[in-house]
Amino acid sequence: MAKFNLKINGSNYDVDVEEDTPLLWVLRDHLGLVGTKYSCGIAQCGACMVHINGEASYSCTLPVSSVGSDEVTTIEGLSKDGDHPVQKAWEDVDVAQCGYCQAGQIMNAAAFLKKNPKPTLEEIENAMNRNLCRCGTYHKIREAVAQAAKLK
Amino acid sequence: MEKLIKTNRRDFLKVAATATGGLFIGFYWSGCDSPKMQVLTDDEVLSQALDFNAFLSISPSGDIVIYSPNPELGQNIITSFPMIVAEELDADWSRVRVFQAPLDNDKYDRQLTGGSGAMPHSWERLRKAGATARYLLLSAAGEKLGVSANELEAKEGKIYQNGKQKFEFGELAADAAKLNAPDDVSLKDPKDFKIIGTPVKNVKNREMFTGQPLYGLDVYREGMVNAMIQRPPFGMKIKSVDDSAARSVPGVTDVVVFKNNVAVVGNSTWPLIKAKRQLRVEYEPDGAVESSFDHDRIMKEMLDSKSAQVMRKDGDVENAFKNAAQVISSEYQCPFLSHSPMEPQNFFAHVNGDKVELIGPTQTPDRARMETSQLLGIPKENITVDITRLGGGFGRRLRADFVVEAAELSKILDKPVKVSWTREDDMTGGAYRPAVRYRFQAALDENGNMIGYKLRGAGINAGNSTRENNFPSGSVDNLLIENIEHRSPITTNAWRAPITNFLAYAEQSFLDEVAIAAKKDPVALRLELLDRAKKNPVGEIHYDIERMRGVIETAAEKSNWGKSKDTMQGFSVYFSHRSYVAQVADIVMEGGQPVLKKITAATDCGIVVHPTGANHQVRGGIVDGMGHAMFTNMTFENGLPKQRNFDSYRLIRMKEVPEIEVHYVDSGYDPTGLGEPALPPTGGAIANAIFAATGRRLRSQPFIEQKEFSDIKLQIRRT
Ligand code: FES
Ligand code: FES
């Protein structure tokens, strides 16, 4: 076991866990931040996406020991009142079916739009291709990302 | 329309305190103008609300509480059911709060999600629930005003007399709830619907999009332990277990062997994932240990077997084939598939003496309780089931294996326990879509008329792999449908659109082969068969000929069927789970290679209750049908799938979906379900378009692994 001080959503957290514990399980099991989802555990589906210094990253394969002083943002901290342009677009377009993948989708989209505020549809598809949606909401996701780009 | 999102976490969903993303209480999520009235918390509303019936309570504050009994897995029944109640109640939708009801046999029947059956089952019940309460509110208002209820009008949560507002619903709730409900109540004319048919937003958006705990995996209880289970390959049992390495993983508190399972127990998830990898479990055969290689051979043998179960027989098939000018014969095969919902299986169980508490994602809470009751010998009345939101189901969560094992483990440990499955557990411990092989044969006369039709289905644990009364049955004079099954230790189960998810593709591809052999247009051939079924029905007909014709004609029209020389099209139509769907796939050739651009769908599901939800199900069903037809394979080796995670089990991704255009045929019938019916036709439409474009007939799935496809570079592009 080792102690880590993590910067998550603007707050500091102390956790005492094994060094190889992926950030995903620190968030879910130790900090109760369960908005970040587990689905594959091998960086294939994007359900676990968080921002590390603003970069969309798979938290399921990221050992807590390598997080260091990096800023972590989870879906719970993306905005204060759930009013990030991407979250609003997700509501407007009514993207979700089961919703399980959507936190990861939103996190990926938010990081992508920050880097590329005026994307083409093709760029949106390339960026969002990292995230699986078993329910097949891909059309809606594409539409919502495009809409969020306009909202910004 | 504004909508109030409540954030009740329900008592059972106690989650570890979080520093951020706390509770959002009574918060207007998408509203910009904040309401003047005081917004109550869910608990406040629930404690004041007066019951009108199993679905509906009204609080004196004017807040409307609607319970949604069926498990929610993305079909958005948690929005569409309350819309129906609110419609007949004439409620103000912005005051409606929706709650998932726990399992309750006294209040609800058919509390399950499966078979696309909830909507047809509940449509009238829900309407009556709303209409009855509306009647009582009007009666109470009439009594207060000393006038007949007939002189009053209800609108958006208020009661009017001669156009003047007299009461809000909340003011009348206490009096109205005391009145006796009428036996009969009149329902609205669908043309007066104000909420039904509008794109009401999903009532759970806020929770989903801000990461609130909603799903089974998010359940946390003080004092609970976590567990993961190593399950045996199909057809095997445990020979020996060496758990010493697993036990030494920090964070692991216990290792328990029960039945053929080895459970690792601890207080958080990661140590369990590690410990499971450290388990050394030796298995030995406990019956047949099978591989896909065996299944291929077995299915071929069954197709040639002398005997099979006759499912339907019309006319004299032998004679028809003897007299045929032309006989077409073709075989189609599909692999097993895992359901792979994005949320892996999991369940919370607490066996406490002779009481059991179950919480989690199940499509069949009743079955979960029944099987738990049988296993533990605890009466059903002592078992509660709370239903969390399901991160997908696709049929996997119709079973109760993942519930019962959690209950058994809780009893052994004498503790509340949450059993979580890894993705690998979910994929290798599945209940798969059965592998099936079909042989189709058609006899044509010299004019290209189909005078005989034979289908034999050979499945591995498929039950009846045919749907003997589906089209084209009824339209062919001489017809024989047979089924033959191999029993295997590999567990199979309903997988979204059971059987028809593959049968439709095979049959619609075969009909394309028949059309080409008969030199007929594929759409014309289907319409001609329907004409014959109408004029000269053979045996029983289990589909509505006109509704089937309606979707065929609409899909052909909307897709400009046959109008463009540059677009190669494939047609497919299927009736399943009470709804009718026809689809056309469009391929254009670019640089000598096919580009799949678009799928046009025409659906008849009767009244479209919730257009957003319906579009989701049609598009989602098409994406699902397309992805699995094209990319996904599951092969077994010695009782275990070789594909264990999404790196080798390939699911469709965003860049692989074409444009999908959705149309509805307004037939005016009562609504039928849409969770499944859009999926079956898709594979056939695509395969037929690929044939039109390349001359390659794809007779097995997944397409990308077929040799006919090896030199084709199919692109999928929306623009
Ligand atoms: S859970 Fe991390 S990518 Fe799938
Ligand atoms: S909405 Fe269900 S997995 Fe994406």
Residue having the nearest C-alpha atom to atom 2 of ligand 2? A98
- The answer, yes or no, to whether residue B17 has pLDDT greater than 50, is no
Query: What burial class does residue B594 get, using C-beta atoms within 10 Å of its C-beta: 0-12 exposed, 13-18 middle, 19+ buried?
Result: buried
- The answer, yes or no, to whether residue B695 has pLDDT greater than 90, is yes
**Residue A59 DSSP class:** G
Summarize the confidence of residues B290-302 as an average pLDDT: 97
Give percent above pLDDT 90 in chain B.
Answer: 90
Query: For position A152, what pLDDT does the model report?
Result: 56
Interchain pair A36, B214: CB under 8 A: no
Task: Locate the chain A residue with the closest alpha carbon to B249.
Answer: A18
Determine contact, residues A31/A25, Cβ cutoff 8 Å. no
Beta-sheet pairing, B164-168 with B158-161? antiparallel
- Confidence label for B43 from pLDDT (cuts 50, 70 and 90): very high
- The answer, yes or no, to whether residue A150 has pLDDT greater than 80, is yes
Q: CB-CB: which of B17, B660, B718 is closest to A32?
A: B17
Give the distance, in angstroms, between the CA of residue B325 and the centroid of all CA atoms in the same chain. 43
Query: For position B14, what pLDDT does the model report?
Result: 27
Cis preceding-peptide flag for B702 (omega within 30 of 0): yes
- Measured from the CB, is residue B208 less than 6 Å from ligand 2? no
Residues B271 and B273: their CA atoms lie apart, in Å, by: 6
Determine contact, residues B311/B482, Cβ cutoff 8 Å. yes
- Confidence label for B3 from pLDDT (cuts 50, 70 and 90): very low
Summarize the confidence of residues A35-49 as an average pLDDT: 98
- Three-state SS string over B242-299 comes to ECHHHHCCCCEEEEEEECCEEEEEECCHHHHHHHHHHCEEEEEECCCCCCHHHHHHHH
B447: phi then psi, degrees, rounded to nearest 5: -95, 5
Interchain pair A132, B211: CB under 8 A: no
Give percent above pLDDT 90 in chain A.
Answer: 97
Between helix A85-93 and helix A102-115 the angle, nearest 10°, is 130
Between helix A102-115 and helix A138-151 the angle, nearest 10°, is 40
Summarize the confidence of residues B352-374 as an average pLDDT: 97
Beta-sheet pairing, B355-360 with B383-387? parallel
Beta-sheet pairing, B64-68 with B96-100? parallel
Query: For position B694, what pLDDT does the model report?
Result: 95
Residues B545 and B528: their CA atoms lie apart, in Å, by: 11
| CA-based R_g, chain A, Å | 15
- The answer, yes or no, to whether residue B635 has pLDDT greater than 80, is yes
- The answer, yes or no, to whether residue B204 has pLDDT greater than 90, is yes
- The answer, yes or no, to whether residue B32 has pLDDT greater than 70, is no
Cis preceding-peptide flag for B434 (omega within 30 of 0): no
| Atom nearest to A96 CA in ligand 2 | 1
Query: For position B93, what pLDDT does the model report?
Result: 97
Between helix B611-630 and helix B680-694 the angle, nearest 10°, is 50
B216-286+345-420 and B436-716: identical CATH topology: yes
Is B37 part of the contact surface with chain A (CB cutoff 8 Å)?
Answer: no
Interchain pair B616, A137: CB under 8 A: yes
Which residues face B453 on adjacent strands? B442, B479
Give chain B's length.
Answer: 719
| CA-based R_g, chain B, Å | 28
Residues B597 and B443: their CA atoms lie apart, in Å, by: 35
Between helix B522-535 and helix B500-517 the angle, nearest 10°, is 100
Torsion of Cα atoms, B494 then B500 then B501 then B504, to 10°: 170
Residues B317 and B113: their CA atoms lie apart, in Å, by: 40
Joined tokens for residue B708: 């006919």
Predicted ipTM > 0.90: yes
Task: Locate the chain B residue with the closest alpha carbon to A73.
Answer: B20
Exposure class string for B299-320: b at 16+ Cβ within 10 A, else e = beebbeeeebeebbebbebeeb
**Structural domains of chain A, ranges and CATH numbers in brackets:** 2-77 (3.10.20.30), 85-151 (1.10.150.120)
Is A51 part of the contact surface with chain B (CB cutoff 8 Å)?
Answer: no
Determine contact, residues B103/B660, Cβ cutoff 8 Å. no
Give percent above pLDDT 70 in chain B.
Answer: 95
Summarize the confidence of residues B356-365 as an average pLDDT: 97
Which ligand has an atom closest to residue A24 CA?
1
**CA angle, B15 as apex, B12 and B19 as ends, to 5°?**
150
Picking from B141, B139, B107, the residue whose alpha carbon sits closest to that of residue B122 is B107
Determine contact, residues A133/B342, Cβ cutoff 8 Å. yes
Interface of B with A in 244-263 (CB under 8 A): 250-251
- The answer, yes or no, to whether residue B2 has pLDDT greater than 70, is no
Q: CB-CB: which of B15, B20, B392 is closest to A135?
A: B392
Joined tokens for residue A108: 């990926």
Q: Which amino acid is at B370?
A: M
Is B14 part of the contact surface with chain A (CB cutoff 8 Å)?
Answer: no
B577 or B373, which is more confident? Answer: B373
Q: Mean pLDDT across chain A, nearest whole number?
A: 97
| Atom nearest to A97 CA in ligand 2 | 1
Residues A119 and A2: their CA atoms lie apart, in Å, by: 42
Query: For position B257, what pLDDT does the model report?
Result: 98
Positive or negative torsion for Cα A73, A74, A78, A80: negative
Joined tokens for residue B523: 């759409």
Query: For position B11, what pLDDT does the model report?
Result: 26
Summarize the confidence of residues B664-671 as an average pLDDT: 92
Summarize the confidence of residues A71-77 as an average pLDDT: 98
Determine contact, residues B209/B242, Cβ cutoff 8 Å. no
- The answer, yes or no, to whether residue B12 has pLDDT greater than 90, is no
Query: For position B115, what pLDDT does the model report?
Result: 77
Summarize the confidence of residues B433-443 as an average pLDDT: 98
Q: B251-259 contacts: CB < 8 A, separation 24 or more? A: B251/A18, B253/B225, B254/B413, B255/B279, B256/B409, B256/B412, B256/B413, B258/B408, B258/B409, B258/B412, B259/B408
Joined tokens for residue B397: 């969560």
- The answer, yes or no, to whether residue B571 has pLDDT greater than 80, is yes
Torsion of Cα atoms, B556 then B560 then B565 then B568, to 10°: -50
pLDDT tens digit sequence for B232-250: 999 999 999 999 999 999 9
pLDDT tens digit sequence for A5-31: 999 999 999 999 999 999 999 999 999
- The answer, yes or no, to whether residue B21 has pLDDT greater than 60, is no
Query: For position B36, what pLDDT does the model report?
Result: 47
pLDDT tens digit sequence for B591-624: 889 999 999 999 999 999 999 999 999 999 999 9
Picking from B311, B262, B302, B363, the residue whose alpha carbon sits closest to that of residue B488 is B302
Give chain A's length.
Answer: 152
- Measured from the CB, is residue A45 less than 6 Å from ligand 1? yes
Which ligand has an atom closest to residue A28 CA?
1
pLDDT tens digit sequence for B498-554: 999 999 999 999 999 999 999 999 999 999 999 999 999 999 999 999 999 999 999
- Confidence label for B109 from pLDDT (cuts 50, 70 and 90): confident
List alpha helices for B279-395, DSSP H: 292-304, 317-322, 365-376
3-state secondary structure of B334: strand
- Measured from the CB, is residue A136 less than 6 Å from ligand 2? no
Determine contact, residues A46/A67, Cβ cutoff 8 Å. no
Summarize the confidence of residues B663-680 as an average pLDDT: 93
**Residue B432 DSSP class:** B
Query: For position B22, what pLDDT does the model report?
Result: 28
What number of other Cβ atoms are within 10 A of residue B413's Cβ? Answer: 18
Query: For position B15, what pLDDT does the model report?
Result: 29
pLDDT tens digit sequence for B259-275: 999 999 999 999 999 99
Query: For position B65, what pLDDT does the model report?
Result: 96
Cα B702 to ligand 1 centroid, rounded to whole Å: 24
Joined tokens for residue B291: 């591989």
Picking from B709, B522, B564, the residue whose alpha carbon sits closest to that of residue B629 is B709
Residues B480 and B436: their CA atoms lie apart, in Å, by: 18
Summarize the confidence of residues B172-198 as an average pLDDT: 94
CATH topology of domain B436-716: Aldehyde Oxidoreductase; domain 4 (3.30.365)
Query: For position B120, what pLDDT does the model report?
Result: 84
Q: Find the largest Cα–Cα distance for chain B.
A: 82
Is A100 part of the contact surface with chain B (CB cutoff 8 Å)?
Answer: yes
Which ligand has an atom closest to residue A44 CA?
1
Q: Which amino acid is at B15?
A: V
Residues B693 and B700: their CA atoms lie apart, in Å, by: 18
Which residues face B131 on adjacent strands? none
Q: Which of A135-144, B17-26, B694-703 has the lowest mean pLDDT?
A: B17-26
- The answer, yes or no, to whether residue B26 has pLDDT greater than 50, is no
Residues B161 and B140: their CA atoms lie apart, in Å, by: 13
Domain boundaries, chain B: 30-210, 216-286+345-420, 436-716
- Confidence label for B116 from pLDDT (cuts 50, 70 and 90): confident
Structure pTM?
0.94
- The answer, yes or no, to whether residue B19 has pLDDT greater than 50, is no
Determine contact, residues B256/B409, Cβ cutoff 8 Å. yes
**Residue A30 DSSP class:** I
Residues B23 and A119: their CA atoms lie apart, in Å, by: 34
Positive or negative torsion for Cα B87, B363, B347, A29: negative
Cα B649 to ligand 1 centroid, rounded to whole Å: 14
Is A28 part of the contact surface with chain B (CB cutoff 8 Å)?
Answer: yes
- The answer, yes or no, to whether residue B113 has pLDDT greater than 90, is no
Q: Which CATH number fits domain B216-286+345-420: 3.30.1360.20, 3.30.365.10, 3.40.50.300, 3.30.450.20?
A: 3.30.365.10
3-state secondary structure of B14: coil
Residues B168 and B566: their CA atoms lie apart, in Å, by: 61
- Provide the strand spans (E) within B9-131: 50-53, 56-58, 64-68, 96-100
Q: Which of A119-133, B194-208, B648-662, B705-719 has the lowest mean pLDDT?
A: B705-719
- The answer, yes or no, to whether residue B483 has pLDDT greater than 60, is yes
Question: B30-210 domain in CATH 3.30.365.10?
Answer: yes
- The answer, yes or no, to whether residue B555 has pLDDT greater than 60, is yes
Residues B35 and B33: their CA atoms lie apart, in Å, by: 6
- The answer, yes or no, to whether residue B28 has pLDDT greater than 70, is no
Between the two ends of chain B, the Cα-to-Cα distance in Å is 33
